[in-house]
Amino acid sequence: MLRKTLTASLLAAAALAPAAAGQFPGHIRFVKTGEKELTFVLASHSEVRLGDVGDLRLKLAVARRILGSLTESTPMYIDVSVPERPVVGSLDPQVEG
C-alpha cells in the first residue's frame, strides 16, 4: 500500500513539473491520483484527466492547446487519456435535452 501511495505521489510530482515551470495554463489547485488515474483539478474547477502516465508530455501538450482555445467559463473536463482522441465535456450533471 505504501509503495502504491509513494508511486502515485511521485507521478503527480513529475506531472506537475511543467506547471511549476509556468508551462501549463490555468492554476492547478490539486492533483488526484489513483492506480491508473492522474487528474489536475484547476482553480476554475475544471479537470484535466490524463489517465496513466504513458505519453505524459504529449498529453500535457494536447491539454495546453485545448485549454488555450477554450472560452467557456463553466467547469468542464478535458480528457486526454488517449491523446489522439481528446474529449471535452461539461461537469454539469444536468442532461440537456
Q: Residue 37 has what pLDDT?
A: 85
C-alpha cell, 93: 450533471
CA dist 2 and 6 (Å) reads 6
Residue whose C-alpha is closest to residue 87's, from 96, 77, 72, 73: 77
What pLDDT sits at residue 35? 74
pTM: 0.79
Residue 74: band (very low, low, confident or very high) from pLDDT cuts 50, 70, 90: confident
Confidence of residue 4 (pLDDT cuts 50, 70, 90): low
Higher pLDDT, 41 or 18: 41
